[in-house]
Amino acid sequence: MPRPVQFNIHPKPADPKDNISMADAPDGYVGEGFFATKLNDVVGLARKNSIWPMPFATSCCGIEFMATMASHYDLARFGAERLGFSPRQCDLLMVMGTIAKKMGPIVKQVYLQMAEPRWVIAVGACASSGGIFDTYSVLQGIDQVVPVDVYVPGCAPRPEAILDGFMRVQDLVGHESLRRRNSERYKKLLESYGIQ
Ligand code: SF4
């Protein structure tokens, strides 16, 4: 008997005028000929709708990510059209799959090569906690080597779950204070990972 699967996607009605949907404007004051808002909100709006993900896929969860990028789910709808395979050009590290302890320093090196501001998603049980591999050789969560912003549960998570995790990151990006990366708290967080 087929498993009932609920796709979290509804067909959109045809738009004969081919209107382009717009991102919501931030809160602010509107008057005749002017709109005033906070710099934080404008930068957040731009950043959250132009995230460049860096996929770090080592096993099965990476296949779910391929489905997430393909036409049916299409991560590009969220402004993340452009996957980067050079960490220096990316701002979102997506770690998908089992990470062996030997691979931990490589994950950290990739993270270090990314410029600030950068965010991290642990996709799936393995990246989040080691998953079913409670063994001597598997890292029990990538947060042992780099700070993680969002964890996506599941083994493997469906593409909807990856999209949901991505939208949680967009929320964080959109509301992040421009001063956060210079704050003492953030510096302490990085220092706890041995990052200057
Ligand atoms: S969480 Fe499950 S599906 Fe994802 S990499 Fe681990 S074993 Fe594979």
Is 43 inside any structural domain? no
Print the domain residue range for 174. 52-192
What is the CA angle 5-21-83, rounded to 5?
Answer: 65
Is 21 inside any structural domain? no
Q: How far is the CA of 60 from the centre of ligand 1 (A)?
A: 5
Q: What is the CATH number of the domain that holds 56?
A: 3.40.50.12280
Q: How far is the CA of 87 from the centre of ligand 1 (A)?
A: 23
Residue 87: CB within 6 Å of ligand 1?
A: no
- pLDDT attached to residue 1: 64
* pLDDT at 59 > cutoff 70: yes
Is 178 inside any structural domain? yes
Sign of the dihedral through C-alpha 131, 77, 26, 87:
positive
- The chain-wide mean pLDDT, for the chain, equals 90
Other C-beta atoms within 10 Å of 142: how many?
28
Q: What is the pTM of this model?
A: 0.87
Helix 159-175 to helix 60-69 angle (10° resolution) is: 70
Is 36 inside any structural domain? no
User: For the segment 5-29, what is each residue's pLDDT rounded down to a tens digit?
Assistant: 555 556 666 677 766 677 778 888 9
CA torsion angle for 32, 39, 111, 158 (degrees, to 10)?
-40
Other C-beta atoms within 10 Å of 174: how many?
19
Residue 125: CB within 6 Å of ligand 1?
A: yes
Residue from 64, 70, 63 nearest 165 by CA: 64
Average pLDDT for residues 40-65, to the nearest whole number?
Answer: 94
Is 29 inside any structural domain? no
Is 10 inside any structural domain? no
Is 26 inside any structural domain? no
If pLDDT is split at 50, 70 and 90, which confidence band does 196 have? confident
Atom of ligand 1 nearest to the CA of 125: 1
Is 60 inside any structural domain? yes
- In whole angstroms, what is the distance from residue 63 CA to residue 101 CA? 22
Instruction: Name the domain count of the chain.
Output: 1
Looking only at the bridges linking them, the beta strands covering 29-31 and 34-36 are antiparallel
User: For the segment 31-50, what is each residue's pLDDT rounded down to a tens digit?
Assistant: 898 889 999 999 999 999 99
